[in-house]
Structure 1
């Protein structure tokens, strides 16, 4: 009887024990290949965003991260990944963002990119992040990476004390479902204290070690594969790069893909997301305000990490569809006021490489839907990205930042005079 039971359950027990040994052993199993890095670079897979292994491998190769949100999934022929492939950019984009990711998620993401030091990055800023309530708790919880959180906790005795206190208190504010040890450790950090020896042992030697092994073993298994989509998009581009010709092509494609509405919105998005309730959006944004938001403080925490790593950053302020602005009745000053405030926060601290796409003379087909870049918007950005991507090493002259703790305060979050 015992022999029969062992024949049935023995292999399962052995497999479980073997898996536990793999997960808890202090030896890390590197499974990330060059092919996996390439696939991950356009996968937009949440495991890549929440992991560390494949991103750190990419930073050793010819990739420069583009940190953003849902606009990254608009993979038309003029998307940076398509253009980089077609026109053989020296370095390629590594896409990091999903619908719902905002500054605090990306702050922890950057904190886990240990090889980003003295290198370049691109950050796409979305005005719609900067609402009065900031990032929704549910969205933050979904994208919160236990691995990145453990890294933040164990490294909280480094870097800016004010930044660490802010991040810890903000995580606690948005996520009340953390483990008791992590919660206690974050509370100590938020109070300006170091974590205890036991907390460090548990979080670093036990939990983080296991999470790292999980990331190494499973972080690139069955990733989303968008390569066919990129190949298809790149095939529609001419062999020789000529900006004027590409601009005409982008306009032509945009017109062909937005025939069923007069808002210059892609037909597939319009029919799926807007058609049945388009009338509800008429003048619905008359009271939109992007000047008061805790997002400014979350954004500042990310800037601190770029400063800490001497990362050279290109910031892209993404446009909003002009016809959508008019249809929804958004106040004329809403975007210019946001633009002025975010640029003040950046430039006053030495972050001067800003591509502002909110004031283009010709705003036609600059967005693929209501608020996301596409077609001509991508092309305008590509023109700036291509020379930036020729060298992935940061220029030390462009990383002489002067950080200001004022931008972590509620006073700044609600300031309208600057």
Structure 2
């Protein structure tokens, strides 16, 4: 009587996780909620995102800037002005290129469609993505998919990704770890590894994703509705630009850096002296992140995805206060665009150097107000059709960008 119900419950759970049953818990309403939820289970899962790809959504993939949901945020603008396709947000503070490479690799329905990817210069530090951050965001489900597909696609990319995951100290079990070791050496996984990962590990993870991936998600729909209600009924860029400036001024009265009051008072005010001239030696041209970014580009190329890349602005007033040389930004800008354009990724929206940078960022390094509006201006046309134009996906991938030589190259 004591153990019977427990045994029955465990048995029922095991049946749910491993039985070949298709659990359809992802409804259109759930997809709509997930599109702005920024829920980590959505990012690490596959079922919700792949369901969204069957509907009128185009992913915007990035990091913490996506949570700055003011009236000019793409989700607000898409709702207010009835864009044919709406943004599906994918990113959290701490996500960077390698996390998003695994994410894109798991989006099987992305093939032949469009995506937007926001690049943050501050990812490209000398040490690259912190190990703890990557471990936190690494999806076991996406990892099993990568392992099982490692006999396909580009061999150099598969070797690089497997080795990088191991170097960052990830361990998901002896069988998975040994499979990654084999892939990192250019070998195929064993038949036993494939059988176990496909029929036990991945099958269970897929069932968990199907069952729980859309339950009790973060809900930002109310926030988006409120933000959209502050916009005029008619889209007029010049008028919206004036409105963005007005709203930005009203929300950044506590400082001279055009930073939102909430962020300034919470994160900066008490530590301002420590930031003065603190970034004099910052550089964004020596980083393993360039190699991780190349792995991401391979994933897009394999999916024949037409991508709009967005280079985020950095608050110019903050740059001046912290003493960061503008060459740090311009050199990064030149290097990342060389990596993109030389391989056929030509759709780049560069917000790192605009004529009027006032109120382009909401804080020190994230888009807000006028920055969002500038991006929206480009997205509006891009979002009219979610299908990729095959002429824009003729990528020519170069494994040189996976090397240490490129990661530290300053001649480009």
Bucket of the pairwise TM-score, normalised by the shorter protein: over 0.9
Pick from 385, 390, 397 the counterpart of residue 396 of structure 1: 390
Return the alpha-carbon distance in structure 2 between the equivalents of residues 176 and 250 of structure 1. 43
Q: Does 1:128 align with 2:122?
A: yes
Q: Does 1:289 align with 2:280?
A: no
1:305: which partner in 2? 299
Alpha carbons 2:290, 2:407 under 8 Å: kept:
yes
Shift of 1:19: 1.3
What do residues 317-356 of structure 1 show as CA deviations (whole Å, max 9, x unaligned)? 0000010000000012000000000000000000000000
What do residues 282-308 of structure 1 show as CA deviations (whole Å, max 9, x unaligned)? 000000000000000000001011111
Pick from 136, 150, 157 the counterpart of residue 156 of structure 1: 150
How do 1:259-270 residues align onto structure 2 when only pairs under 5 Å count? Answer: 259-270=253-264
Return the alpha-carbon distance in structure 2 between the equivalents of residues 147 and 68 of structure 1. 20
1:3: which partner in 2? none
2:233: which partner in 1? 239
What do residues 379-398 of structure 1 show as CA deviations (whole Å, max 9, x unaligned)? 00000001000000000000
2:13: which partner in 1? 19
Return the alpha-carbon distance in structure 2 between the equivalents of residues 332 and 60 of structure 1. 43
Structure 2 unaligned spans of 5+:
none
Alpha carbons 1:83, 1:382 under 8 Å: kept:
yes
Structure 1 unaligned spans of 5+:
1-5
How do 1:167-186 residues align onto structure 2 when only pairs under 5 Å count? Answer: 167-186=161-180
Pick from 150, 160, 184 the counterpart of residue 166 of structure 1: 160
Alpha carbons 2:345, 2:395 under 8 Å: kept:
yes
Q: Does 1:356 align with 2:350?
A: yes
Shift of 1:18: 1.0
How do 1:141-220 residues align onto structure 2 when only pairs under 5 Å count? Answer: 141-220=135-214
Return the alpha-carbon distance in structure 2 between the equivalents of residues 169 and 126 of structure 1. 24
Alpha carbons 2:140, 2:172 under 8 Å: kept:
no
2:109: which partner in 1? 115
Alpha carbons 1:28, 1:212 under 8 Å: kept:
no
Pick from 82, 89, 99 the counterpart of residue 88 of structure 1: 82
Q: How many equivalent pairs are there?
A: 412
Aligned with 2:22: secondary structure? coil
1:106: which partner in 2? 100
Alpha carbons 2:135, 2:170 under 8 Å: kept:
no
Deviating beyond 6 angstroms after TM superposition, the runs of 4 or more aligned structure 1 residues are none
Shift of 1:65: 0.3
Aligned with 1:115: secondary structure? helix
Q: TM-score, normalised by structure 1?
A: 0.98
What do residues 131-163 of structure 1 show as CA deviations (whole Å, max 9, x unaligned)? 000000000000000000000000000000000
Return the alpha-carbon distance in structure 1 between the equivalents of residues 112 and 12 of structure 2. 39
1:71: which partner in 2? 65
Shift of 1:84: 0.2
1:407: which partner in 2? 401
Return the alpha-carbon distance in structure 2 between the equivalents of residues 286 and 359 of structure 1. 19
